[in-house]
């Protein structure tokens, strides 16, 4: 779990010598890609025409045909085996039936007995076993093969190659059924992050982070492909189960507005100190846009303008997790069992016994055990269980604090 802005800033401040030494060592080393380990995995698997790291052209844009070729190859490797129906048993032939016909005449004393043996003819039904749909033999040739593709398009094709398009559609449909306005990429971005296909670059390399609309690089594609090669069948099935059971509660108008703003940013990258949808420079590093965990909440509650919001923008005063969690009096802290949609939730080293200075992560509760946050995979949906339920500290309710209850 990533640490929050204050902790990372303190670490940089305490060890400037180490940071400078590391930078000097990096500058003298032979340039290589951040995705070198994943490129080696891809090369070993015979994907992306990769031979070695040096010749991979990691920083080049990923083209439409290269993506189609990659998706085709991954599907060939990872597609589930076709289901072959069991053989049809042979028909059961009825036994021979013997019937006796007795004819009696009153004018004579002779009784004639006729015996007829009938063997029924049984025609076996014609059963056609459908052949499994074969995978195509070659990748589809796209119309504009050299056209760069975006990160959202990369995630879409990779999710489809795992046969999880249905799961992506379910996430989108259920969000819209609850009244939330979400972009078309929403479902595939949710699924890609549940699968772990994205990476959070170190803070001093935040310039590498890409938004959903930015052109994807070959390095990002290699990272995702390497992650997919490690997936087990149960991992894919678990994501499909999450999608099948994804149901959102009824929202108030204000909860719907807050969560629409939050869901629209699913897929944005994690940026240390970031609060912006577009370019910004934090701690000397320029990024294309994104948020850290508290910056995401800040963006949703503080920077987004809502008609009739009253004092909502002034409810959150401090910028960090430490400050936001400490602003709410102990008596007003909300426990796990009392959460409502749009509550701001905090996670600490000691769970509910944490002090504000021990709170290192935060997000926004969605309902029915789901929340949205900016974490190692960027802005993503997550289940409030496992580590998150153990480290849950408390929550606060900005809508109520601003008097917005309808």
pLDDT digits (tens, 9 = 90+) for 259-315: 999 999 999 999 999 999 999 999 999 999 999 999 999 999 999 999 999 999 999
Half-sphere exposure of 402 (CA within 13 A, CB side): 22
Please tell me what DSSP assigns to residue 340: -
Structure tokens given for 230: 């490690």
- Quote the pTM value: 0.81
**Residue bearing tokens 């078309």:** 184
- Nearest CA to 221 out of 201, 199, 206 is that of 199
Nearest to 313 by CA among 399, 372, 379, 406: 399
Torsion from C-alpha of 308, 180, 301, 377, nearest 10 degrees = -170
What is the pLDDT, as a whole number, of residue 78?
85
Where do we find the tokens 């909440």? 297
Cβ neighbours of residue 104 closer than 8 Å, sequence gap 6 or more: 111
Q: Give me the half-sphere count of Cα atoms (radius 13 Å) on the Cβ side of residue 209.
A: 33
Task: Report how far residue 346's alpha carbon sits from residue 217's, in angstroms, rounded to the nearest whole number.
Answer: 34
Which of 64, 70, 65 has its CA nearest to residue 215?
A: 64
For the chain, 406 residues long, give each residue's pLDDT as a single digit of tens: 445 444 443 333 333 333 333 344 444 455 589 999 999 999 999 999 999 999 999 999 999 999 999 999 999 988 655 555 666 666 655 554 444 444 444 443 444 444 444 444 445 455 454 555 566 778 899 999 999 999 999 999 999 999 999 999 999 999 999 999 999 999 999 999 999 999 999 999 999 999 999 999 999 999 999 999 999 999 999 999 999 999 999 999 999 999 999 999 999 999 999 999 999 999 999 999 999 999 999 999 999 999 999 999 999 999 999 999 999 999 999 999 999 999 999 999 999 999 999 999 999 999 999 999 999 999 999 999 999 999 999 999 999 999 998 7
**Parallel, antiparallel, or unpaired: how do β-strands 280-282 and 285-287 relate?**
antiparallel
Degrees, nearest 5: CA angle 31-32-33: 140
pLDDT score of 132: 55
Judge contact between 158 and 138, C-beta under 8 A: no
Q: What are phi and psi of 275, to 5 degrees?
A: -140, 5
Label residues 271-282 b or e (16+ Cβ within 10 Å = b): bbbbbbbeebeb
Q: Of 348, 383, 342, 381, whose CA–CA distance to 364 is shortest?
A: 342
Q: How many residues does the chain have?
A: 406
Per residue in 348-360, pLDDT (tens digit) is 999 999 999 999 9
DSSP letter string over 25-67?
A: HHHHSPP--TTHHHHHHHHHTT-TT---STTS-TTSBPBHHHH
Question: Residue 388: in which H helix or E strand, if any?
Answer: helix 387-391
Q: List, edge to edge, every strand of the sheet that includes 359-367.
A: 378-383, 370-375, 359-367, 344-348, 392-396
Can you list the positions of beta strands (E) in 61-170? 97-104, 111-118
Return d(Cα 275, Cα 300) in angstroms, integer.
9
Q: What is the largest CA-CA distance in the chain?
A: 132
Sole residue written with tokens 């969000």 = 175
Predicted confidence at residue 89, as pLDDT, reads 64
- Please answer whether residues 257 and 306 qualify as being in contact, where contact means their C-beta atoms are separated by less than 8 angstroms: yes
- Within its chain, how far is the Cα of 93 from the centroid? 55
| List of residues 6+ apart from 18 with CB closer than 8 A | none
């Amino acid at each position: 779990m990533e640490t929050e802005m204050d902790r990372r800033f303190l670490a940089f401040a305490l060890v400037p010598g180490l940071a400078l030494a590391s930078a000097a060592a990096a500058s003298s080393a032979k340039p290589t890609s951040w995705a070198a380990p994943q490129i080696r995995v891809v090369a070993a698997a015979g994907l992306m025409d990769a031979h070695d790291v040096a010749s991979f052209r990691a920083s080049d844009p990923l083209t439409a045909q290269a993506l189609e070729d990659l998706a085709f190859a991954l599907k060939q490797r990872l597609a589930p085996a076709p289901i072959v129906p069991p053989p049809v048993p042979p028909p059961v032939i009825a036994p021979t039936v013997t019937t006796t016909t007795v004819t009696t005449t009153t004018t004579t004393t002779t009784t004639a007995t006729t015996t007829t043996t009938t063997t029924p003819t049984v025609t076996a039904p014609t059963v056609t076993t459908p052949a499994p749909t074969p995978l195509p033999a070659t990748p589809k040739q796209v119309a504009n093969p050299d056209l760069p593709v975006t990160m959202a398009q990369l995630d879409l094709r990779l999710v489809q190659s795992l046969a999880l398009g249905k799961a992506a559609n379910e996430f989108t449909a259920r969000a819209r059924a609850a009244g939330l306005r979400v972009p078309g990429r929403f479902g595939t971005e949710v699924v890609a992050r549940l699968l772990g296909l994205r990476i959070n670059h170190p803070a001093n390399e935040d310039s590498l982070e890409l938004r959903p609309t930015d052109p994807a690089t070959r390095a990002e594609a290699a990272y995702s492909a390497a992650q997919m090669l490690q997936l087990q069948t149960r991992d894919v099935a678990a994501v499909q189960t999450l999608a099948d059971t994804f149901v959102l509660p009824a929202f108030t108008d204000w909860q719907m507005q807050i969560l629409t703003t939050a869901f629209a940013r699913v897929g944005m990258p994690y940026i240390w100190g970031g609060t912006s949808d577009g370019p910004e420079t934090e701690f000397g590093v320029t990024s294309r846009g994104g948020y850290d965990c508290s910056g995401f909440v800040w963006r949703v509650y503080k920077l987004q303008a809502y008609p009739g919001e009253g004092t909502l923008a002034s409810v959150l005063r401090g910028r960090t997790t430490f400050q936001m969690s400490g602003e709410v009096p102990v008596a007003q802290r909300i426990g796990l069992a009392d959460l409502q949609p749009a509550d701001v939730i905090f996670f600490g080293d000691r769970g509910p016994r944490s002090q504000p200075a021990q709170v290192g992560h935060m997000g926004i509760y969605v309902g029915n055990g789901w929340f949205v946050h900016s974490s190692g995979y960027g802005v993503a949906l997550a289940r409030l269980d496992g580590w998150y339920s153990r480290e849950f500290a408390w929550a606060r309710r900005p809508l109520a604090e601003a008097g917005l209850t309808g």
